[in-house]
């Protein structure tokens, strides 16, 4: 008698919110002052690598596709502080070194090392021979952590790239064939039921659902929009709207005349907007009072804290995956303003950019976000029950 096949189930994995203890609050972006809130933090997940298992806390990053950890060859002088977990490849019986060099550059920082294959586990899920990299040199936020001033008692050791197979560094650089990042490997190995994962956030952390969607966390239906290309989680934004709650006639529409891709990136804190749009939105939020906001030397908008109680909102428009109609997500303006720790001054949580545009976790925390890597890759958004309040805290 044949035993019934085991049907894989979606796995729920806790996400940790790790507050930055340096002035560099994201691996992509700019150097800005620290702010007093849970918002400027990274989403992290615990994984185990090797046999026997060695545990690491990694940034869960949909903006890149490569997973990397510090090696024992990476010293503090090389950008790997002693308080990081260092991978001891000689102690893993399942370790398999490759000859391919690993090099990745972020908006802030970089990492260099060597690709290898080994066992990696997250919760109850395990992939054997997963391709990853150990680094011998690192520059950026992970290198700049301060154990003595850590506020969460959690140290980030490296990055888990949850991007797409075409977006792996060696493939993009023409140095080797593409390979599958961990979530895609799980699906192809039959360990999760669907080619999808979802991310939701709470004050305490959040939830990553591998192979499914956190439908219990939503307040409305999902809208879906197709990916722009195959190498990153990127969608076309059709435009923005500033909605004035008191006087609809003073609402403003900002429609893009050309296709404008935005990366949907859990590894970035801020939203990065075209420079002209960012300026226009800042003007609209401050009711056209030029004296109520300014762009500081770090490229971040400072704003009068009175606008933290604004009841206005911003809509972001996409083209629906289903019927190509315009669909939108809605953000209260109050969710895009936060207070600096050291001064009675507030910041806008979007930044002007001249090239790459990003929807970061300052926006994503208001939604359950679905990353679907099926036959027609797409991203979905639904309002979250646990939308985090940030203004005026």
Predicted local confidence at residue 38, as pLDDT = 31
Domain 215-383 CATH class label: mainly beta
Catalytic residue (one of 37, 157, 265, 312) = 265
Q: Which residues pair with 381 in a beta bridge?
A: 223, 369
Predicted local confidence at residue 246, as pLDDT = 80
Domain boundaries, the chain: 12-210, 215-383
Instruction: Point out the least confidently predicted range of 19-28, 113-122, 161-170, 353-362.
Output: 19-28
Looking at the chain, the whole-number percentage of residues with pLDDT higher than 90 is 60
- The span from the CA of 1 to the CA of 208, in Å, is 37
Report the chain's mean pLDDT, rounded to a whole number.
86
Q: Is 265 a catalytic residue?
A: yes
DSSP string of 339-372? EBSSSS-EEESEEEESS--EE-HHHHTTEEEEEE
Which of 358, 387, 363 lies closest to 314 in space, CA to CA?
A: 363
Q: Is 150 a catalytic residue?
A: no
- The span from the CA of 210 to the CA of 197, in Å, is 5
Predicted local confidence at residue 149, as pLDDT = 57
Which of 172, 329, 161 lies closest to 235 in space, CA to CA?
A: 329
Tell me the three state secondary structure of residue 67: coil
Instruction: Point out the least confidently predicted range of 115-129, 298-312, 315-329.
Output: 298-312
Looking at the chain, the whole-number percentage of residues with pLDDT higher than 70 is 88
Q: How confident is the model at residue 21 (pLDDT cuts 50, 70, 90)?
A: very low
Q: What is the pLDDT of residues 336-355, one digit of tens each?
A: 998 876 567 788 999 999 98
Q: How confident is the model at residue 227 (pLDDT cuts 50, 70, 90)?
A: very high
- Our CA dihedral for 22, 104, 43, 239, rounded to 10 degrees, sits at 100
Instruction: Point out the least confidently predicted range of 119-128, 149-158, 317-326.
Output: 149-158
How distant, in Å, are the alpha carbons of 180, 337, 351, 383 from that of 28? 23, 19, 12, 25
Predicted local confidence at residue 5, as pLDDT = 52
Q: Which residues pair with 158 in a beta bridge?
A: 58
Asked whether the domain spanning 215-383 has the same topology as the one spanning 12-210, the reply is yes
Looking at CATH, the fold of the domain delimited by 12-210 is given as: Cathepsin D, subunit A; domain 1 (2.40.70)
Q: Which residues pair with 87 in a beta bridge?
A: 71
Q: How confident is the model at residue 42 (pLDDT cuts 50, 70, 90)?
A: confident
Q: For residue 322, with 0-12 CB atoms within 10 Å meaning exposed, 13-18 middle and 19 or more buried, which class applies?
A: exposed
Q: Which residues pair with 116 in a beta bridge?
A: 97, 132
For residue 24, is pLDDT > 60? no
Average pLDDT estimate for 192-212: 89
For residue 148, is pLDDT > 80? no
Instruction: Point out the least confidently predicted range of 60-74, 295-309, 330-344, 374-388.
Output: 330-344
Catalytic residue (one of 61, 66, 214, 366) = 61
Which of 233, 244, 229, 166 lies closest to 196 in space, CA to CA?
A: 233
Q: What is the pLDDT of residues 369-390, one digit of tens each?
A: 999 999 999 999 999 987 644 3
């Amino acid at each position: 008698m044949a035993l019934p096949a085991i049907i894989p189930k979606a796995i729920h994995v806790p996400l940790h919110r790790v507050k930055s203890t340096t002035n560099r609050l994201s691996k992509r972006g700019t150097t800005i002052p620290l702010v007093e809130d849970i918002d400027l933090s990274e989403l992290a997940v615990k994984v185990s690598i090797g046999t026997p298992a060695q545990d690491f806390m990694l940034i869960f990053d949909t903006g890149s596709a490569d997973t990397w950890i510090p090696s024992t060859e990476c010293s503090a002088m090389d950008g790997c502080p002693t308080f990081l977990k260092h991978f001891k490849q000689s102690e893993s019986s399942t370790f398999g070194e490759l000859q391919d060099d690993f090099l990745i550059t972020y908006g802030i920082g970089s990492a260099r090392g060597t690709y290898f294959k080994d066992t990696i586990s997250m919760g109850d899920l395990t992939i054997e021979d997963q391709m990853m990299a150990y680094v011998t040199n690192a520059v950026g936020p992970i290198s700049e952590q301060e154990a003595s001033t850590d506020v969460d008692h959690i140290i980030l050791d490296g990055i888990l790239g949850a991007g797409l197979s075409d977006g792996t560094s060696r493939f993009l650089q023409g140095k080797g064939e593409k390979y599958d990042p961990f979530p895609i490997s799980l699906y192809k190995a039959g360990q999760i039921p669907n080619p999808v994962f979802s991310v939701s956030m709470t004050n305490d952390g959040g939830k990553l659902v591998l192979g499914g969607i956190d439908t219990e966390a939503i307040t409305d239906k999902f809208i879906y929009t197709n990916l722009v290309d195959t190498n990153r989680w990127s969608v076309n934004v059709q435009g923005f709207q500033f909605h004035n709650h008191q006087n609809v006639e003073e609402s403003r529409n900002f429609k893009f005349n050309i296709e404008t891709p935005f990366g949907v990136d859990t590894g970035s804190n801020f939203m990065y907007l075209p420079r002209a749009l960012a300026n226009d939105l800042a003007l609209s939020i401050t009711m056209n009072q030029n004296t109520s906001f300014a762009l500081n030397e770090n490229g971040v908008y400072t704003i009068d804290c009175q606008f933290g109680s604004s009841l206005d909102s911003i809509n972001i428009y996409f083209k629906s995956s289903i019927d190509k109609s315009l669909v939108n997500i809605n953000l209260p303006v109050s969710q895009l303003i936060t207070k600096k720790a050291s001064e009675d001054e507030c910041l806008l949580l979007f930044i002007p950019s001249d090239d790459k545009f990003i929807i970061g976790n300052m926006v994503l925390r208001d939604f359950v976000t679905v990353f679907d890597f099926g036959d027609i890759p797409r991203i979905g958004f639904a309002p979250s029950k646990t939308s985090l309040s940030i203004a005026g805290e």
